[in-house]
Structure 1
Amino acid sequence: MKLEIANFYVKDIIFSDKTSYKEGVLTINKQEALEIVKQDKHITYADIVIAKPGENIRIVPVKEAIEPRYRVGGGALFPGVTGDIFQVGNGKTLALKGCSVLVVGKHWGGFQDGLIDMNGEGAKYTQFSSLNNICLVADTDEEFERYEQQKKNKALRWAGMRLAQYIGECVKDLQSQEVEVYELKSIDKELVENIDLPKVVFVMQVQSQMEELGYNDLIYGWDCNRMVPTFMHPNEILDGAIISGSFMPSSSKWSTYDFQNFPMIKRLYKEHGKTINFLGVIVSNLNVALEQKERAALFVTKLAKVLGADAAVVAEEGYGNPDADFIACIKSLEEAGIKTVGLTNECTGRDGASQPLVTLDQKANAIVSCGNVSELIELKPMEKVIGDLNSLARDGLSGGWSGDEVLGPSVREDGSIIMENNSMFCGDGVVGWSKKTMVEY
């Protein structure tokens, strides 16, 4: 399979009477864009606000991020989700780089929502502070989950995907500045051509803890809670086969933007044919029951052995309960003679003194840490808030609170905040963005 991603770099975004792209400037017809958003009758309010790097802007509650793209030859940007199912990862896709569509709640947040600061101390904690963000600020009539801590946010998330597809279409007739090419031949041919290189698989443990459908990551529209580990071509993931779910504390979740740009996959591609033979991706579930965890580890190891892998990289989306899947998978692979490296964040408490993962094993002896989800962060007020700042404390966001005997409320009267890293939107960057680690003293 050969995938070409043609890149158009966005240096600035403005509103105009036409949605177009020219010399690094993306212009958006706001009225037309909002009509796309409001195709869903459940959307009761919608606005689009631009947030640029360096501006004194705080965005919360952030629910999702998507890179605007256009699929050459037609077809849904996310098959099985926004349109009919077909295989992706082959052909050409146009991508607007340096920007994202952020889905932001006008009022109501939840456990899985997060915060982005475009300037100051908070900006260093998330990849999205460096992007030109098209913030879809919206509300719905989904009263059945308005006051629930855990929300599916379906109408808002799907609106964001439609908006990203609409914006991406503006470059369909243009020549891109660069083209990234991702190609893996069939495994038998790669084994012949790279016979002397170690064979490596990437194991992605995507979020799938919720038994009720609608909260978990989707593969071609299929809820990952209902799957067993499966082998996928890395191009499929980079080209829209997987979308993010609504479940998981915000700092440790993987947004759809993350799947579209997965740095770890791109890094393995970079080494392919040089230092490794990159075989592909094993996508694994993260279910709750012990039997399901054992089955997943068994399937991952079986697939890796059948593929002839010498080594594996395992990355988990989330922490806590998924740590058991993470460690079980690493242990199983190591016992099969497959050298394994793990990628994860840690939950070591506000003082950093607690056990980093829920469960550990001596065979998990090569783990890359992406930081402590419980680390306390204090941030100064911002001149502008997109969304609703009070949602951080009021609505059960995983890193915020309404009151604390020692620390007081997360949101202070002057607009400054104190919170756990948990609330930084996709801030741990386990997919490969992370600049954080842990330090031993």
Structure 2
Amino acid sequence: MKKAFLYLLLLTTSALTSHAQDCGTAFLGTKTLYKAPFVKYTPVPAGYQPVFINHVGRHGARHLTKDVNTTAIYGILLKADSTNMLTDKGRLLKQMVLSLQKVEKGNTKSISAEGRAELKEIGNRMYHNYSNVFARSPKLNVTVTKEIRTKQSADAFLSGLKAGLKDSAQITETNDDLNLRFYDESPAYTAYKDGDDWEKYKAIIVKAEHIDEMNKNITARLFKPDFLKTQDKKWADKIVSDMWGFATIVYSLKEEIGQKNIAPGDLDFTRFFTCEELKALGRADAVEDFLVKGPGIKPNGIQVIIAAPLLANFITTSDDFIKTGPVNANLRFAHAETISPFAALLGIVGADKVSPNINQFDAAWQASNVAPLSSNIQWIFYKKKGSANYLVKVLLNEKEAHITGLKAGFPYYKWADVRKLYVAKLTSLNYKLGDDASAFLKAVK
């Protein structure tokens, strides 16, 4: 009898602590860890060498942006537990949330060790791939935003870049929220983001993926029926949204979790979902990014237009280099809300296709390919000795990018052609080089 009891206890414990089935990471979207590209670049045309780089990157893998104990789920779990309203899975979830709080305390808004490694490796690859740009005491302009994670990302990137330098670099660091956080500067975009125009399209995906029913099923595994009787749909949305945030963030926290002597599996929040649920929730999360940060349902949506000042900045700083060569590289560090609309505005294939049929939004646009953690866009300029002409290669996440509207030259496009295309695009948006970026963002509709 005693042996049978112990066996049952073992089975119960195993059921509670076993990990979810391996569902992969496709559901992570913009929380996807950066992967070094295993690509072979197209050979550079004979006689050309890299001479200048214009770059913008997203911050690295990060911690949560707010304390665990300020989330809705934290207080709800504690309250439900105090009245014995949690199921066994609910109590396990509560323990995991408390453990995550230990990991995250004092670290919110910062990049993680994983993020530092991502950025360091990107900087190191930039040096080795384009070492000619960084010869002879290079001058670098480094630009960050007001968020500490962009400064931390710049430092990590530079640690990798400078590891290869033979001479010290002259580095000028500035803040540029206007060009890098353009989405904060546009009242029309704020109204769009906070409004319901895009929500009706997301609702189509929510309905198609049965998200409301799914949220109800998920919360039913965690809370006892008497507790659930008093809750509504919005309450279930909050619970699952917080669980989702925790499930996607822990991939970025491997080292920090280990430092707290917590086994990675003990913070595997995906165990509370089925693979189908993770896939559905990932799609609902990605469509919001597509509508609010990506190409959306029609060309030149407000969420893309607002990246015009950054495009103008890329053009003028490239012109400045060609005229006087003041710096060897412009290195900017920003956010997913910077990278995704900029990639769409540039016409990068795979990042710019609109989808009038929202059910097909992810046929040609994948958040994990466009704006994963540490995502980046680079313009690499090449010149042949004795020639006045420049070629430029555009990279998205260190991969050669096709540009919609440029038919010849891939991946080494003529700068004159690239510039003509983008100046014309800016003109079509009523923005000219030299215009006041702040005035444009305040006026754009």
Give the alignment's TM-score, normalised by structure 2. Answer: 0.22
Task: Identify the structure with the greater helix proportion.
Answer: 2
Q: Which has the larger radius of gyration?
A: 2
The structure whose RCO (Cα within 8 Å, separation 6+) is larger is 2
Task: Identify the structure with the greater strand proportion.
Answer: 1
